[in-house]
């Protein structure tokens, strides 16, 4: 079914692919574009659900593809960050495994008529992941700008520490929300 929410969901997947290419270019211009593309992609996540609920446009396609599009966006960006050495590979692996396993489980549950709404922990996890990615994108842009090259070396250790703490928090919330999901699934 072609409708605004489904178009936004597909657009999020396309934007995720564009984001990968922008991040691989690693220039000031591409980093600025990456921030914009990530912001737009993140907004499509909000608006596809908003339009689906408020306009009665919920579809089977949207129920399946919306969470997949969310995971594609997050995992594409985190995968590039891991490849660039910005985040630890184990962090990406833990997040990727959780996201893939929960998404497959959610799709299988939907096929059996079970629908579990996203729990608070899952929403907090998503906000934390998006915030961590946004912070890293801003830092990359700042690094590439050349405007503050003299103070860049002074703030780099602080940025690395904040990034590490933020990503560890994202991993912890990701694992916790996965455990919570399977716990609630076992009682549904």
Going from N- to C-terminal start, the domains of the chain cover 4-186
Neighbours of 112 (CB within 10 A): 7
pLDDT at 155: 77
> Distance from CA of residue 76 to its chain's centroid?
8
CA distance 104 to 28: 37
Closest-CA residue to 68 (of 23, 34, 102, 115): 102
Provide the 8-state DSSP code for 86: S
Decide: residue 167, CB within 10 A, 0-12 exposed, 13-18 middle, 19+ buried.
Answer: buried
Least confident stretch, 23-27, 37-41, 73-77, 140-144: 140-144
Q: What is the pTM of this model?
A: 0.87
More confident residue, 84 or 65: 84
* pLDDT for the residue numbered 150: 64
Q: What is the pLDDT of residue 116?
A: 65
**Mean pLDDT throughout 120-147?**
85
- For residues 145-168, average pLDDT: 79
- Would you place residue 1 in the very low, low, confident or very high pLDDT band (cuts 50, 70, 90)? low
Which two three-digit tokens encode residue 53? 């609920």
In this model, does residue 135 exceed pLDDT 70?
A: yes
Candidates 1.20.120.1760, 1.20.1250.20, 3.40.190.120, 3.40.50.620; correct CATH number of 4-186? 1.20.120.1760
Which residues are within 8 A (CB) of 14 and not within 5 positions of it... i.e. 6 or more apart? none
pLDDT at 27 over 90: no
Check residue 98 and give its pLDDT: 95
Backbone angles phi, psi at 76, to 5 degrees: -60, -50
Residue 66's pLDDT is 85
pLDDT winner (highest mean) among 62-71, 97-106, 139-148: 97-106
Residues 15-30, mean pLDDT to the nearest whole number: 93
Q: Which is higher by pLDDT, 146 or 174?
A: 174
**Residue 23 contacts residue 77 (beta carbons within 8 Å):** yes
């Amino acid at each position: 079914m072609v409708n605004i929410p489904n178009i936004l969901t597909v657009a999020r997947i396309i934007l995720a692919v564009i984001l990968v290419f922008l991040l691989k270019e690693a220039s000031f211009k591409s980093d600025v574009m990456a921030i914009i593309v990530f912001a737009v992609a993140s907004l499509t996540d909000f608006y596809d659900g908003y339009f689906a609920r408020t306009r009665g446009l919920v579809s089977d396609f949207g129920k399946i593809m919306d969470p997949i599009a969310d995971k594609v966006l997050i995992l594409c960006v985190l995968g590039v960050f891991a490849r660039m050495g910005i985040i630890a590979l184990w962090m990406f692996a833990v997040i990727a495994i959780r996201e893939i396993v929960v998404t497959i489980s959610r799709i299988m549950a939907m096929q059996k008529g079970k629908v579990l709404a996203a729990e608070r922990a899952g929403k907090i996890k998503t906000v934390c992941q998006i915030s961590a990615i946004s912070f890293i994108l801003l830092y990359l842009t700042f690094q590439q700008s050349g405007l503050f090259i003299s103070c860049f070396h002074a703030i780099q250790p602080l940025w690395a520490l904040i990034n590490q703490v933020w990503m560890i928090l994202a991993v912890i919330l990701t694992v916790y929300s996965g455990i919570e999901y399977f716990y609630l699934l076992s009682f549904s």
